[in-house]
Homo-oligomer: A and B are copies of this chain.
Amino acid sequence: MTYRDLNTPLRTIMTPGPVEVDPRVLRAMSTPIVGQFDPAFTTIMNEVMEMLRHLFQTKNKWAFPVDGTSRSGIEAMLCSVIEPGDKVLVPIFGRFGYLLTEICERYGAEVHTLECEWGTVFDQKVIIDEVRRISPKITAIVHGETSTGCMQPLDQIGAACRELDCLLIVDAVATTGGTPVKVDEWFIDGLIAGTQKCLSVPSGMAPITFNDRVEKVINARKKVERGISTDEDRIREQQLNHSFIKSNYFDLSMLQDYWGPRRLNHHTEATSMLYALREGLRILLEEGLDARFNRHLHHERALIAGIEAMGLALYGNRECKLPMVTCVTVPAGVEPESVRSMLLHEFGIEIASSFGPLHGKIWRIGSMGYSCRKENILFVLGALEAVLIRHGAKVETGKALQAALDVYQEKI
């Protein structure tokens, strides 16, 4: 039985993830592996924890990746704190808000939702008032909603949650590494990031962080699996009056002991993915958080200038626009999937459609991490103009690239 060598096309990936991986990260992945308890490897584990604390702007003890894609981190965080019957508030402003409710419900939470129109976000006061009214144990919210291209301001909710004794859990999968995510300053108790977006590392890990308030909840439910638990573990477990965490794989109390000094054998850490994450974080910290956030804003500005110069309309409220996702309204009479297909097959460029009510209504152009660079912005603008012309759409010709180049010639 013979299969051919892996032979993939080289794409310009301008979706809200996964995005192009930094070549240095790809190279790091080809490093020969070492064993999971090799001191050379545990040193790397500790370094990654330290780097993640910088990324998350936190002094939290716990910051490590869960071995799975982004939603594995979300599920690990939620299932480790939710006990059946716990009240959880989920403000929803797009598809990934529904994902949060979905996970909470599966783990037996009493879920309360707030919804606002897609394309907008919440006034923080509305959420805070609801926390006050229903006193949930947890408020779980998305920071950057890639499905609508909107970003929820979070600078006030956490302080209010803290005062009202509610845990604030934030899905910052789309935003981390591309725009400020201030865990400590915003009083976020637990936060989940993604690798395949602004970190420009392949999908397959979910960096998370949580503070001592979350740790207290987790430790009250801590159960070490038989086969490796000690007498001490078993005595402690008999005295607990909380339910155990349903999932073994996502049990953060055991993951803590794997990432902490006890080095309790749980899973076998995904070696090459951790090499990739380390390299992605190293590159990010070398660039600097502020420089990186400004880079995302700069290219966003060029992209928007080009889109608007072409005569296309952005979707969503500009005041809450997610800097690394630009949603474009599909012009009347144009078949949206045909445009995407021509971009892919003629130009090798991938942009995204959207979900549910927005499917077929908007395109979503990502400008994240390594994909967020001048040549990609210029290429997608030029290609989109050509493809729209080819589809008989009415566009201003020759203007998009000029507008983007103007932005790039500004002093920054």
Contacts and interface: CB of A to CB of B under 8 A. Distances in A.
A69 B248 contact: no
B29 A29 contact: yes
A312 B355 CA distance: 63
A32 B8 contact: yes
A202 interface: yes
Interface residues on A, range: 35 or more
Contacts of A33: 8, 13, 18, 20-21, 202
Contacts of A273: 202, 204, 270, 272-273
Q: Tell me the number of copies of this protein.
A: 2
B355 A95 contact: no
Given A71-B248, A247-B247, A356-B227, A30 B34 contact: no
Contacts of A68: 67-68, 72, 249, 267
A12 to B, nearest CB: 10
A18 B32 contact: no
B270 A228 contact: no
A246 B246 contact: yes
A133 interface: no
Interface stretch (A276-284, A294-302, A401-409): A276-284
Interface stretch (A101-109, A158-166, A209-217, A303-311): A101-109
A147 B225 CA distance: 15
Interface stretch (A35-43, A177-185, A320-328, A391-399): A35-43
Given A13-B34, A70-B268, A246-B246, A102 B225 contact: yes
A236 interface: no
13 contacts: A6-B44, A9-B38, A11-B35, A18-B33, A21-B272, A29-B29, A67-B204, A98-B226, A99-B248, A147-B227, A204-B204, A249-B250, A272-B273
